[in-house]
Amino acid sequence: MILVVDDSTTIRHQVRTCLQAAGYTVIEAENGAIGLQKAKDHPIDMAIVDINMPVMDGLEMLASLRSVPGKQGIPVFVLTTESSKDLVTRGKRYGATAWIVKPFKPDVLVKGVKHVLARAA
C-alpha cells in the first residue's frame, strides 16, 4: 500500500493512476497532517510526499513519520518541482529515500517505486 501526499489533485491523480496501473494499492492525503494520520492508521509500505503543502509540509511530515514506532524504515520519495542540493540534504536528514522531480514520467516513477520496495523487502 502506497500513501501519496500532495495538495494538488492533479498530481495525486497522476501518481495514483500510474501506481494503480502497476498493481499497487494507493491511498491519498492532501496535506502533511492528514498524510501523517493516514500513515499511522494504515499499513503502508511506502510514501510519496510533496514538499510544498498547506497545514503541514512534506519535510515536517517526514520528520514526524520517522518518530512513529514501526514507521521509521518506510521508504519515502519526496516530490519536488525544483530540486536543490539544500533540499536533498534536508530531505536526507529527515530520512527521505530519494526524490523525484516533477513533472515525472509515469514509467520512471513506477520503476523507482518497484526498485525501492524490492530493496525494502
Give the residues lining the site for another protein (CB under 8 A): 7-10, 12-13, 52, 54, 81-88, 97-101, 104-105, 108, 111-112, 115-116, 119
CB of 86 to another protein, least distance (A): 7
Q: For another protein, give the closer residue by CB, 41 or 69.
A: 41
Phi, psi of 22 (to 5 degrees): -85, 5
Rounded Cα distance, 112 and 65, in Å = 21
Nearest to 39 by CA among 88, 85, 2, 84: 2
Q: For another protein, give the closer residue by CB, 63 or 83.
A: 83
Q: For another protein, give the closer residue by CB, 34 or 44.
A: 34
Q: For another protein, give the closer residue by CB, 26 or 65.
A: 26
CB of 78 to another protein, least distance (A): 11
Query: What type of residue sits at position 106?
Result: P
CB of 48 to another protein, least distance (A): 13
